[in-house]
Structure 1
Amino acid sequence: MIELNDFEHWSAGTIISFEDGSKMLVREKIEYTAKEDDIYHTVQQGDTLTYIAWYYYRTVTNNAPKYWRFISDANNIINPLDLSSYIGKSILIPNFHSIKLKEQ
């Protein structure tokens, strides 16, 4: 089981700005090992990680979309804002009960 502070998995990390104007997000990723009760989602055109998180976690939490980072990190998705290279591919959806939130 992975333990996270309620907003720890929601925070963005640190943005590094380069001289050429480009930016890069640097953050600590969540380590996750696939489990037997995980499921898979085939990414469709227009899917976003927040939508996928909402779709799979909406029945178990009121704040389902904020779990996008957990799905992103479990699949080593480099740019969570662009899933175009994943269209037609299956991504791991970790079982929500593998996530335990620490009390603040």
Structure 2
Amino acid sequence: MSIGTIVCTIMAALFLLLAIIFAVLKEKGAVLISGFNSLPKDERKQYDQLKMSEDMRNMLFVWFFLFAVGGVLTSIFSVTFTILAFVVWLVLFFKEVHFDTETAFHKYKL
């Protein structure tokens, strides 16, 4: 088992665990989202927390799938698939990063 397979497996397990946590907590999981937990409680009520939690869960499942496939392909072919999985993940990750609360959560405003 190569180091790439191990790394992809660890990342996949981490994202699967986080996705399950968001799936179980439903709308209560929204407070685990970075930036949202720092908003005042009365302002949090202005957002669709269930949709936020569902979107985070779905994103984490996509990341899990990405690393699971990367791990399998790495174990069959080469470590290049680990690098590819990380590059794709970084693109997806930075696509979702927002430094402004309004930009990050505007689509969830009620």
Could you state the TM-score of these two structures normalised by the residue count of structure 1? 0.28
Kindly indicate which of the two structures has a greater share of residues assigned to helix: 2
Greater radius of gyration (CA): 2
Could you state the TM-score of these two structures normalised by the residue count of structure 2? 0.27
